[in-house]
């Protein structure tokens, strides 16, 4: 029995992805995959899962954003990459001027919301937001208590001012807008 357990555990560890706690694999909005293996090189690799016969391999990003079926970002300092997810091709720029000119010419800079990614923070920022709310609890707890105080005063008090109503609507609206923008991976 002991040998069977040892054999099963060895086989289990052969199939386990052991890149570490910081490793991740996420699908992009265009259907491809970004992978970070948890190493200290601080670069995520783009894999063309939509076009497996694509000849371009080893596209790395240090910092990127998704916009209109493109992945636009920086590979290393001074090396910029624009990957087209529909054609599975990538352009590399070694000059920031040429990169900015191409981005402006092809309208690849978002006008409303640019959501940037890096390998350490792959996209699901809810845990980061919750951690920040916990660490900022000396600020968030008094704000929430003040919110409840104003809410109670609105229902049980006689004086209803426009400022109270604006505050009561603005705080949940701000949280809702932030959550919606975090949910959408594309830049707008």
Listed by start position, the domains of the chain span 16-117, 126-183
Distance of alpha carbon 181 from its chain centroid, rounded? 10
Predicted TM-score (pTM) of this structure: 0.65
How many whole angstroms separate alpha carbon 58 and alpha carbon 48? Answer: 10
Q: What is the residue-level pLDDT of the chain in tens, covering all 188 positions?
A: 666 666 666 555 544 444 556 677 888 888 888 888 877 677 888 888 877 776 666 788 988 999 999 999 998 888 999 999 888 889 999 999 999 999 999 999 998 878 888 887 655 555 666 677 777 778 878 888 888 888 888 777 767 778 788 888 888 888 788 777 767 777 77
Return the axis-axis angle of helices 126-135 and 162-183, rounded to nearest 10°. Answer: 140
């Amino acid at each position: 029995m002991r040998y069977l357990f040892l054999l099963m555990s060895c086989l289990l560890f052969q199939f386990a992805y052991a890149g570490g706690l910081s490793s991740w694999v996420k699908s992009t909005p265009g259907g491809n995959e970004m992978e970070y293996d948890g190493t200290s090189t601080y670069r995520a690799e783009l894999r063309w899962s939509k076009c497996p016969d694509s000849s371009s391999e080893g596209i790395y990003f240090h910092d990127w954003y998704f916009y209109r079926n493109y992945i636009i970002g920086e590979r290393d300092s001074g090396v910029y990459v624009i990957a087209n997810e529909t054609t599975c091709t990538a352009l590399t720029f070694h000059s920031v001027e040429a990169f900015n000119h191409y981005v402006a010419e092809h309208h690849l800079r978002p006008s409303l919301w640019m959501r940037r990614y890096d390998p350490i923070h792959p996209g699901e920022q809810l845990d980061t937001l919750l951690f920040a709310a916990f660490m900022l609890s000396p600020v968030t707890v008094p704000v929430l208590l003040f919110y409840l105080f104003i809410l109670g005063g609105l229902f049980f008090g006689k004086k209803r001012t426009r400022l109270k109503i604006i505050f009561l609507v603005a705080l949940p609206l701000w949280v809702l807008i932030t959550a919606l923008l975090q949910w959408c991976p594309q830049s707008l």
